[in-house]
């Protein structure tokens, strides 16, 4: 059974001072589209949580075989996106949650996390981490945890679920800071482009 990928893209870019970080070009491709293309390499169904099907972010996904999960109440926080997104997932053994603003994540990073149950079968959560072991993203959840997502609220995301199962979390070290480096401000983007040339 293929593992679906849920991309949480319904939040606002509140720190970008008017710009939308998920529409910023990376290598000539809007970041959100780039992340969806990366997720598609896994072979699993890709589902994208957006404020709605007419959101400007949906326009950059035209032509891609993705499912849009509308989150009209996304202003309530990331938890509502997770609740709606997980509820919309197809039947599966596990599901991968991906934050789209981690611009350095590559397809091989997603694959490393997806492959982690093979070496850590007793875990319930497999989580990308920095090379020095700081937890980050993406995060692979066992489907047994799906009911837990129905109770999430606020802007804590999946943190309460991860904390409740801390003894069954397996970290997967990814190169550098890929698992944690998000680009939230114009200054973040300027530094990223200076370093990478993208």
Binned at pLDDT 50, 70 and 90, residue 13 comes out as low
Q: Is the pLDDT of residue 62 over 60?
A: yes
Residue 116's Cβ-count burial label (10 Å; 0-12, 13-18, 19+) is: buried
Binned at pLDDT 50, 70 and 90, residue 17 comes out as low
Name all domains of the chain by residue range, CATH numbers in brackets: 5-196 (3.90.550.10)
Could you tell me the sign of the dihedral formed by the alpha carbons of 100, 103, 105, 107, in that order? positive
Helix, coil or strand: residue 103: coil
* Tens of pLDDT, residues 169-180: 999 999 999 999
Q: Please identify which residue in the block is written with the tokens 């993208």.
A: 198
* Tens of pLDDT, residues 91-131: 999 999 999 989 899 999 999 999 999 999 999 999 999 99
Q: Residue range 47-55: average pLDDT?
A: 91
Contacts of range 12-16, beta carbons closer than 8 Å, 24 or more positions apart: 12/74, 12/75, 13/184, 15/184, 15/185, 16/184, 16/185, 16/186
State the pLDDT at residue 94: 98
Nearest residue to 6 via CA among 83, 109, 58, 60? 83
Maximum separation of any 2 CA atoms in the chain, in Å: 45
Q: Residue range 20-31: average pLDDT?
A: 89
């Amino acid at each position: 059974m293929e593992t679906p990928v849920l991309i949480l893209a319904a939040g606002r870019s509140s720190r970008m001072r008017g710009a939308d970080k998920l529409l910023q070009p990376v290598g000539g491709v809007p970041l959100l589209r780039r992340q969806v293309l990366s997720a598609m390499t896994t072979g699993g169904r890709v589902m994208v949580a957006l404020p709605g099907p007419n959101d400007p972010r949906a326009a950059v996904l035209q032509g891609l075989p993705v499912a849009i999960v509308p989150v009209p109440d996304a202003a309530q926080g990331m938890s509502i996106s997770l609740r709606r997104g997980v509820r919309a997932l197809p039947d599966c053994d596990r599901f991968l949650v991906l934050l789209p603003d981690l611009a350095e994540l590559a397809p091989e990073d997603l694959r490393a996390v997806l492959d982690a149950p093979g070496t850590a079968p007793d875990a319930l959560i497999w989580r990308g981490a920095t090379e020095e072991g700081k937890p980050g993203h993406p995060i692979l959840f066992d489907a047994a945890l799906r009911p837990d997502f129905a109770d999430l609220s606020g802007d804590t995301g999946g943190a309460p679920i991860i904390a409740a199962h801390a003894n069954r979390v397996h970290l997967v070290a990814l190169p550098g800071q890929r698992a944690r480096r998000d680009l939230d401000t114009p200054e973040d983007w300027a530094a990223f482009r200076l370093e990478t040339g993208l």
